[in-house]
Structure 1
């Protein structure tokens, strides 16, 4: 019992810190310069230049070093603050703010809605790369709206629900390790001649890290559907029916739930730097219109609030451990 008291105090300090980090992200979003994730990205790129080779084992080494370093940094921070709940809360708040991207995501979605509402297609095309990697040059208003809604759905999981899930499970090391995994996937995990082998490990690890969070995102989107003018039952039904059809094992769950919640159809032809992909249709009805972009932003924000609340409570209470009742004697 005496040994558990410090652990409980540290866990609860982390719960408070996560809540503070969420509030800081809500107030200021991402910094324009010197973002910690950008610093990690530069370090990962420098390591890539030393390790790169068109082989899976080199990518495995790159991913293992980067993720282990991030997790170890979190572990050192947690260890250094184990005797001070205030310091532990401060470190957790900083880590939470650094890994979250929900406020910036919602701002980008709102900015896109404003450009589309003003009829500024050229401005919307220039802005779209802030949200996703598809080629915006030939997209019309409805295609841009679809790209925005799909990006909001997927990134609500990647930038909000997943880091909070791993923070609830593993504290500061979980927060930093997840962001390292997701950043590496964005850097080297995409399919291209350079990264088809080297990026394999980063892509597969990202799939594994998002397996639970993506489905939680879909569940929360279904529960929050009435806030976006939709139906929880319909959103859940579309997620169960269509979510597995997406080529990603995770993104499809998020996109299908958003499609059902908004009452729209997602999927279709996407162009990425000259590479054409045909995505399966998810949902029913027509593709999103400009008005649906604001509804998607509202849904994403509702999911973020629910996920933040649940993660902080889960960290405060703690996950059940096998044998705890037996140890209490």
Structure 2
């Protein structure tokens, strides 16, 4: 079995495992290991380098290089060692890694907890559930605000939690998938424009922006198709995607959110509180109808449809071409 066929089969198996098992919190996970690595490297580099803008910029670049090299290199060595024992062992291990780098079911499941709490009328429980998956302040959100936050996080994380890693896995197998996940985890930990990370996290944030430049736009297009396939307004999804996909400070964050807002005929984003401070963000989508808890489940259906389209385009078609040239 050739390596391209093997890693595409591993992606297919990993995708199915993700749909079946999700992300068991008790199990070891490479992303948690990457997070621990980043925290350790940050502490080490800050102690080694001068506490000045130049020193922090240098430390941030070193953090990017080390965080990308270590998990990617270890993944290559692991798969190479498994392949020396048996190609089937390498396939099994790469399938497991591919599964752990995808987050389709866990994203839908975590948002489902918010819906379940709202359905029973427990607003405090819903606020707590949504606080686990969003960065904004949730203590004062009403039912509509909680539902909106859950829909937004499903839509936004569809790109860097599902579609982008799937694309990188399809192109370069688990090593490239791990490379992407290391960069994305690093951005989520240090890529902030606050006093602590303005200089130290700049390289990580810029690199993540570059890495997601194409995947985010591909994900937005696929979500327009996913919205239509799930039975929602695909034409409006495309209209809002084209109009509002740049309504965010990040060059990549609004693409899937715009497509989802259009498909569900909702208005998302807008001003929100973060760490007690009101942040004025532009709206995404049109306020065609009031948001409701069921929209959380609807966004999950769009997520699944989008993920299946991505699997078909980046895994299914290439695999068929390689197997039946």
TM-score (norm 2): 0.90
Gaps of 5+ in 1: 1-5, 320-329
Q: Is the 8 A contact 2:265 2:286 kept in 1?
A: yes
1:318 to partner: Cα distance:
8.0
| Counterpart residue number, 1:40 | 34
The 10-residue stretch of structure 1 (107-116 or 227-236) with the greater mean CA deviation from structure 2: 227-236
| Counterpart residue number, 1:56 | 57
Report the CA distance shift for 1:81/1:316 in structure 2 as closer, same or farther (over 3 A). farther
Q: Is the 8 A contact 1:59 1:201 kept in 2?
A: yes
Distance, in Å, in 2 between the alignment partners of 1:164 and 1:227 is 20
1:115 to partner: Cα distance:
1.2
Q: 1:108 aligns with which of 107, 110, 113?
A: 110
Report the CA distance shift for 1:228/1:289 in structure 2 as closer, same or farther (over 3 A). farther
| Secondary structure class of the residue paired with 1:271 | strand
| Secondary structure class of the residue paired with 1:245 | coil
Q: Is the 8 A contact 2:115 2:297 kept in 1?
A: yes
Distance, in Å, in 1 between the alignment partners of 2:311 and 2:132 is 24
Q: CA RMSD in A?
A: 1.9
| Counterpart residue number, 2:303 | 300
Distance, in Å, in 2 between the alignment partners of 1:237 and 1:213 is 19
Q: 2:224 aligns with which of 217, 222, 232?
A: 222
| Counterpart residue number, 1:92 | 94
| Counterpart residue number, 1:313 | 316
The Cα offsets for residues 108-150 of structure 1, whole Å up to 9 and x where unpaired, read as: 1111111112221100111112211111011111111111111
1:76 to partner: Cα distance:
2.0
| Secondary structure class of the residue paired with 2:245 | helix
1:308 to partner: Cα distance:
2.4
Report the CA distance shift for 1:191/1:315 in structure 2 as closer, same or farther (over 3 A). farther
1:280 to partner: Cα distance:
0.9
| Counterpart residue number, 1:239 | 241
The 10-residue stretch of structure 1 (189-198 or 120-129) with the greater mean CA deviation from structure 2: 189-198
Distance, in Å, in 2 between the alignment partners of 1:170 and 1:299 is 26
Gaps of 5+ in 2: none
1:78 to partner: Cα distance:
3.9
| Secondary structure class of the residue paired with 1:148 | helix
Distance, in Å, in 2 between the alignment partners of 1:201 and 1:216 is 24
Alignment of 1:1-329 (within 5 A): 9-33=2-26, 34-52=28-46, 53=51, 55-82=56-83, 84-285=86-287, 286=289, 288-313=291-316, 316=319
Distance, in Å, in 2 between the alignment partners of 1:151 and 1:318 is 35
Aligned residues: 312
Q: Is the 8 A contact 2:183 2:207 kept in 1?
A: yes
1:282 to partner: Cα distance:
1.4
Q: Is the 8 A contact 1:224 1:302 kept in 2?
A: yes
| Secondary structure class of the residue paired with 2:251 | coil
Distance, in Å, in 2 between the alignment partners of 1:318 and 1:45 is 42
Distance, in Å, in 1 between the alignment partners of 2:321 and 2:204 is 29
Distance, in Å, in 1 between the alignment partners of 2:286 and 2:184 is 30
